């Protein structure tokens, strides 16, 4: 029998459909101004004077780069060349699994562990194997990752966006840092109330600091998120949270970007 939460994932994904997409409100306000306001508000509320300066610097960089970034055809394309540091530090191993559920009608593609170079190719191999063995099954991607290679995550996110594959963060799983880019790129996003989903800004791998180059990458990441419908408030949290910390998102914040939650009876 299929676990209740995974049953909800499939039902929700099918109901949403592959072309549905969470968007920001219909306001015509300048998205860069909205980002700067949200980022500054968060920094002021936390007494972070340096954060306020960073918000202004990032907003200025966004304005400078707006025209160029708008020409990017893929989410994540604007950040594919960034300097990066694997996060968290330590052994970097990813497990990719293919699990048939519900009488082979549903296939879960599981990604567990830090995201590392080669995961995009590994995920493609798993998807081809699933399609060959279960040609009529509905597939969804289940994430449980603390983050890792942002450029590798950007490639996976672009593939998820193009395919329309539903993405879920299962009960007691985590999706933070680079993993969030993959989750946010999905057109159908489902999460357990017990899942932990979080964001933070970028660090430069060559200096291991949040220097000017890292802030420029954070600006590119902010614009990429805005393009795929991440609300300004969450972008502000990302920009204002230092690389060594995680801002865990509330259910309200997740719902604002179109994340769906199962009924309490199925959330296990």
Q: What is the dihedral of CA 175, 180, 186, 190, to 10 degrees?
A: 40
For the chain, how many helices (H) and strands (E)? 9, 8
Give the model's pLDDT for residue 123: 92
Return the CATH class of domain 4-17+30-266.
Answer: alpha beta
Each residue's pLDDT tens digit, 183-236: 999 989 999 999 999 998 876 555 555 556 667 777 778 888 888 888 888 888
Half-sphere exposure of 198 (CA within 13 A, CB side): 21
More confident residue, 214 or 177: 177
* Predicted model pTM: 0.72
Contact 218, 199 (CB under 8 A): no
Give the model's pLDDT for residue 119: 92
Each residue's pLDDT tens digit, 12-57: 544 444 333 333 333 445 656 766 776 677 667 767 777 677 677 7
Give the dihedral sign, CA 133/146/253/208: negative
């Amino acid at each position: 029998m299929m676990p209740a939460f995974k049953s909800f994932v499939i039902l929700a994904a099918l109901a949403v459909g592959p072309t549905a997409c969470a968007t920001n409100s219909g306001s015509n306000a300048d998205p860069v101004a909205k980002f700067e306001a949200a980022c500054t508000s968060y920094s002021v509320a936390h007494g972070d004077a340096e954060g306020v300066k960073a918000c202004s610097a990032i907003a200025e960089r966004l304005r400078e780069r707006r025209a160029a970034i708008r020409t990017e055809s893929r989410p994540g394309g604007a950040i594919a060349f960034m300097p990066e540091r694997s996060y968290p530090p330590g052994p970097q191993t990813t497990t990719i699994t293919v699990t048939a559920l519900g009488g082979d009608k549903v296939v879960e593609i599981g990604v567990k562990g830090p995201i590392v170079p080669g995961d995009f190719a590994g995920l493609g191999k798993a998807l081809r194997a699933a399609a060959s063995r279960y040609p009529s099954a509905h597939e969804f991607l289940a994430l449980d990752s603390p983050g890792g290679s942002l450029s590798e995550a950007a490639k996976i996110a672009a593939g998820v966006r193009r395919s329309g594959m539903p993405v879920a963060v299962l009960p007691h799983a985590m999706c933070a840092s680079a993993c969030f880019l993959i989750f946010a790129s999905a057109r159908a996003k489902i999460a357990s109330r017990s899942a932990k989903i979080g964001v933070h800004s970028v660090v430069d791998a060559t200096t291991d600091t949040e220097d000017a180059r890292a802030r420029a990458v954070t600006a590119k990441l902010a614009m990429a998120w805005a393009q795929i419908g991440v609300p300004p408030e969450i972008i502000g949290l990302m920009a204002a949270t230092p690389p060594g910390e995680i801002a865990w998102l509330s259910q309200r914040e997740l719902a604002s970007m179109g994340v769906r939650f199962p009924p309490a009876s199925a959330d296990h």
